[in-house]
Amino acid sequence: MKIIIHGGFFSESSQSMATKIAKQQALRHVVKNAYDYLKTHTALETVAYAVEQLENDELFNAGIGSQIQSDGKIRMSASIMDGESTKFSGVINIENVKNPIRVAEKLFPTEDRVLGGEGATNFARAHKFEFFNPEIPQRRKEYEAKTGSKSLGTVGCVALDEKGNIATATSTGGKGFEIPGRISDSATAAGNYANSYCGVSCTGIGEDIVSTAVATKIVTRVSDGFTIDKAFEKTFAELKAIDGFAGAIAIDHKGTIFHLDSHPCMVFASFDGNTLDVFE
């Protein structure tokens, strides 16, 4: 059993040491908690559980604490993928729900598995996800000052369960100030992808992640025989060629945990039952 989570990026130049410590603590707590959960649950159940906890923490840009778009509204995106069946489900630009990842999970057994905008919000209401405004005062202040938030804080999780199945989940509040209707990478195969060989969750600039198809490429390369480090190396070289900004976390079928970022530094934590590794 292995697990890795991320909480977007941290920037030394624009964020305080107190925020860094708070993020480290939050990730340590969630990764341990989710690892315990993984002992009695599948990888798929566990990634939703971990991401839900990260969405509930306003330190991160997903669920509560999401960024505000240019028209003053919050629209969130989240997806979940099961490596064994290669089934993917997600919501894009959903509004006024507490946990977008739980709506994505609800769509998993359905036929129409990726819903956008009003359709996603209507689906949530029809399945008893109550109205919930995820806005926090700090985000409104940043919106009004037109500064935007100082960090990107998308969240994600990759888990490998006892049976050897891999799953991934990713959730975001977007990049802030975007044109309404802009689509994040987080609920696409470029930002969140898994098969029976590997699972990857990304954070960073969605346009760069989609241009490079980061998660899909890493997973495909591992499936085709690349080692996970070589799969990352080649994909991040392609990202660099477009001057892209991204980070990604992964686990392969052998249980190798891996992560890489194009810029300092992606906020992550991993746990394998013995060693807890957290970003510094």
Considering only the stretches 179-187, 217-225, 228-236, 271-279, report the one whose residues sit in contact with ligand ASP under the rule CB under 6 A.
179-187
How big is the chain by its Cα radius of gyration, in Å?
A: 17
Of residues 144-163, those binding ligand ASP (CB under 6 A)? 152-154
Asked if 185 interacts with ligand ASP (CB under 6 A), we say yes
What is the total count of residues that contact ligand ASP (CB under 6 A)?
A: 15
Enclosing H/E stretch for 117: helix 117-126
Active site residue 154: yes
Buried-exposed string 82-91: b where 16+ CB fall within 10 A, e elsewhere: bbbeeebbbb
Asked if 176 interacts with ligand ASP (CB under 6 A), we say no
Considering only the stretches 68-76, 125-133, 138-146, 181-189, report the one whose residues sit in contact with ligand ASP under the rule CB under 6 A.
181-189
- Asked if 251 and 193 touch (Cβ cutoff 8 Å), the reply is no
Largest interatomic CA distance in the chain: 50
Binding mask 36-65 for ligand ASP (x = CB under 6 A): -------------------------x----
Catalytic residue among 46, 121, 154, 216: 154
Of residues 196-225, those binding ligand ASP (CB under 6 A)? 203-206
- Cα 192 to Cα 83, 125, 214: the distances in Å are 11, 25, 9
The token pair that represents 24 in the structure block = 């480290």
Asked if 69 interacts with ligand ASP (CB under 6 A), we say no
Considering only the stretches 35-43, 97-105, 108-116, 171-179, report the one whose residues sit in contact with ligand ASP under the rule CB under 6 A.
171-179
Asked if 168 interacts with ligand ASP (CB under 6 A), we say no
Residues at the interface with ligand ASP (CB under 6 A)? 8, 61, 152-154, 172, 174-175, 184-186, 203-206
